[in-house]
Amino acid sequence: MNNVKIKSKNLNVYYGEKQALFDVNLDLNEKEVTALIGPSGCGKSTFIRCINRMNDVIDICKVSGNIEIDGVEINDKNLDVVSLRERVGMVFQKPNPFPKSIYDNISYGPKIHGKGETKSELDEIVENSLKKAALWEEVKDRLDEPGTGLSGGQQQRLCIARAISVNPEVILMDEPCSALDPIATAKIEELIDELKKTYTIVIVTHSMAQAVRVSQKTGFFHLGKLIEVGKTEKIFKNPDNKMTQDYITGRFG
Amino acid sequence: MNFVLIFLITIFSLSLFFYGRSKTKSISIEKNIKLNALPKFYGYYLVLWCSIPSLVFLLIWTLFEPVIIKSIIIETAANQGAIFNDKNEANLIYEKIKAIYAGTYFGDIDTILKESALSYAKFINLFTNSKIVLIFGIVIASVIYSLKKIKKNNKARDDVEVILKGLLFASSLIAILTTLGIIFSLLFESIKFFSVINIFDYLFGTNWSPQRAFVSDASAITAAEYDELKDAFGFIPLIAGTSFIAFIAMLVAVPIGLFSGIYMAEYASVKIRRISKPIIEILAGIPTVVYGFFAALTVGPFFRQIGENLGLTVSSESALAAGLIMGIMIIPYVSSLSDDVINSVPQSLRDGSYAVGATKSETIKKVVIPAALPGIIGSVLLAVSRAIGETMIVVMAAGLAANLTINPLESTTTITTQIVMILVGDQEFDSPKTQSAFALGLTLFIATLVLNYIAQRAVKKYREKYD
């Protein structure tokens, strides 16, 4: 069992009047993949967006409770969001490369954080990020072509490379394969397996099979509550909760 | 008379609607047949058949009646011994006859005029009566035809669709034909102008002073006269003045408009946006003549005052004042359009940028604006074409003298101003001076057309990328 990297305590989230998360207490382990499953609208995405404070972007969203990364409270008004997001990267449901060249897509983050001051340093960051995202071989000869011209799966790996480029500790993935075909999905899953050696990964997924394949730990959300969490093997073979059982066997959701 | 007819046709058609609807309903119940369309479609069918042919006929008749009567009357007058040497005199006599008929003629009436007026009255009567008879004939014929069709349980729904499609087509045809008509009239008058003044002398001449252009006989211009003439119609000072004022206007409108667009799209809360957006858009609703006198009476003198205090000579009609006010007028175009394009940059791009730790302004500068750039360029180009076509402000505030200058404190003139100056007041329509207005209009039209085309291409290309 690895160390706990992220710890949420009594986390509540409100969108205006509507409460989206109820007292979520969840520990995420370092250098492990944690999968979050549950029916649509159950709060999985809301939860991971708390970890890099992406919910700040939404005006009506209010977060109360605690989230700690390495024991430091991040749900704190005085926290520097920029450096938090440098540590916690995110990959979205739909690939969202910037309408810039592949190179500029990757170098965007490092430049913002003042990394890679010389061209060669920057080149190195770009190359390493793309290599880690298993995209280097496919794009090394066309780094100046627009990132939007890649295929869906390549675009998503480009977005993963973009997240890696600032050298984060945690990568949040919000249904990263939902817009991809099975082959691209397999590649991303392979990549996740590789990435977990270096990063703590949290993945939201609708695919039970994917959760089983990639994760070591699984949390099941329903109607904004964390119903059950445990080793992936246990959750899928022998869950404690009846609702979890029903969901993974496809009786509702 | 015509209004009464139109009124009657309308009333009759409407009553046919109810008749057709209830009749078909009762038939279908009585004979227990399934109708090919809803009863109301049979109603529409009758209405359209009753009204369209008769109204079209009425329209055509009304257009041609005066022409036909006129030619008949002039001919009868000639037969009776009236003498006229050319078309104008014939027209004069015809007008006299009409005045006599209307009882507003106070000159002497000789026998020829009297006879002609009597026959005019006769023909008017005849035409009016036959018009009424024919229209009733058409109404009755088309109603009988359509009723017969209805009895056969025709596919009224499809027929109504066809007729409506025809109506809509006719409407768009009118719009297109009008545009073509305007273009052709511009073109023909310009060709007349260019047959006098060489097109290259016009395009590259550096002196514009059409008031000097006196030609005694346009068909026989001597070489010396032509040298004088071509010196009066040089386009360069006008395009320079127009571009210069538009440039000043863009210097004002682009930064302010773009920044307020960015503020509206990215920073303003819903509440602020709801209040401030309409206020900015009110700027676009202010009549340009109001801007014009603001520029001419307030801003122009203000600049001159400041200039005097600084020891500069500032003309009270200056390119600066006109350009500045024009820029203010254009702000809402730029801000509103760029607000729209910035808003349609997908949120996912912003999220992607925030997720690597970019701040809001970094995200806007490096992701949102580049993504929206084609659309923003499009909106700026639309604003430019608005600026070069703007008339009232420059007429009032920019001046009339065609100075070839880049000093914003001097007065300059624009294409639109010159068109106004040339066409205001009494004009003879075959002088090069008047025709030059059409040439200017054509040039302006082509310039704005090209700009609009490029702008729309840019905006479209941008839309394709994200839809």
Distance of CA A213 to the CA centre of its chain: 16
pLDDT of residue B49: 86
Domain boundaries, chain B: 2-154, 236-466
pLDDT of residue A1: 61
pLDDT of residue B116: 82
- Facing residue for A85 by CB, picked from B269, B357, B370: B357
CA distance to partner chain B, nearest, from residue A110 (Å): 9
Measured between beta carbons, the chain B residues lying within 8 angstroms of A84 are 357
- Facing residue for A109 by CB, picked from B269, B348, B357: B357
Distance between CA A51 and CA A69 in Å, rounded?
Answer: 9
Write the burial class of residue B178 (CB in 10 Å: 0-12 exposed, 13-18 middle, 19+ buried).
exposed
**Nearest one of B391, B398, B373, B141 to B254, comparing CA atoms:** B373
Q: What's the CATH code, domain B236-466?
A: 1.10.3720.10
Measured between beta carbons, the chain A residues lying within 8 angstroms of B348 are 92, 94, 96
**Contact indicator for B179, B449 with CB cutoff of 8 Å:** no
**Contact indicator for B291, B393 with CB cutoff of 8 Å:** yes
pLDDT of residue B218: 59
CA distance to partner chain B, nearest, from residue A190 (Å): 23
Distance of CA A80 to the CA centre of its chain: 20
Its sign, for the CA torsion B248, B250, B253, B258, is negative
A178 — contact with chain B (CB < 8 Å)?
A: no
What is the tens place of the pLDDT at every residue in B133-164?
A: 999 999 999 988 888 887 776 777 888 888 88
Mean pLDDT of B37-66: 88
B356 — contact with chain A (CB < 8 Å)?
A: yes
CA distance to partner chain A, nearest, from residue B350 (Å): 9
**Nearest one of A26, A53, A29 to A37, comparing CA atoms:** A26
Report H helices in B286-391.
288-294, 300-310, 319-343, 347-355, 360-363, 369-389
Chain A 105-144, CB below 8 Å of chain B: which residues?
108-109, 112-113
CA distance to partner chain A, nearest, from residue B382 (Å): 24
Please answer yes or no on whether B355 and A100 come within 8 Å at the CB atom: no
DSSP B235: S
Write the burial class of residue B180 (CB in 10 Å: 0-12 exposed, 13-18 middle, 19+ buried).
exposed
Please answer yes or no on whether A99 and B269 come within 8 Å at the CB atom: no
Q: Is the pLDDT of residue B376 over 70?
A: yes
- Of B242-246, B403-407, B453-457, the range with the lowest mean pLDDT is B403-407
CB pairs under 8 A between A and B: 69
Tally the residues of chain B. Answer: 467
Mean pLDDT of A221-228: 92
**Contact indicator for B400, B238 with CB cutoff of 8 Å:** no
Name the band, by pLDDT with cuts 50, 70 and 90, for residue B277: confident
Q: Which residues contact B272 (CB under 8 A, 6 or more apart)?
A: none
**Contact indicator for B116, B77 with CB cutoff of 8 Å:** yes
DSSP A3: P
Please answer yes or no on whether B359 and A82 come within 8 Å at the CB atom: yes
Residue of B nearest to A171 (CA): B355
Measured between beta carbons, the chain B residues lying within 8 angstroms of A112 are 356-358, 362
Q: Is the pLDDT of residue B54 over 50?
A: yes
CA distance to partner chain A, nearest, from residue B366 (Å): 9
Q: Is the pLDDT of residue A170 over 90?
A: yes
Measured between beta carbons, the chain A residues lying within 8 angstroms of B354 are 54, 57, 85
Q: How much of chain A exceeds pLDDT 70, in percent? A: 99
Measured between beta carbons, the chain B residues lying within 8 angstroms of A55 are none
**Contact indicator for B320, B409 with CB cutoff of 8 Å:** yes
What is the tens place of the pLDDT at every residue in B191-233?
A: 988 888 888 888 888 888 887 766 666 566 777 777 777 788 8
Residue of A nearest to B373 (CA): A99
Residue of B nearest to A111 (CA): B358
Q: Of residues B22 and A106, which shows the higher confidence score? A: A106
CA distance to partner chain B, nearest, from residue A184 (Å): 20
Please answer yes or no on whether B351 and A52 come within 8 Å at the CB atom: no
CA distance to partner chain B, nearest, from residue A83 (Å): 7
B371 — contact with chain A (CB < 8 Å)?
A: yes
pLDDT of residue B467: 45
- Of A116-130, A213-227, B103-117, the range with the lowest mean pLDDT is B103-117
Helix, strand, coil percent values for chain A (each to nearest 5): 40, 25, 35
H-helix or E-strand containing A200? strand A200-204
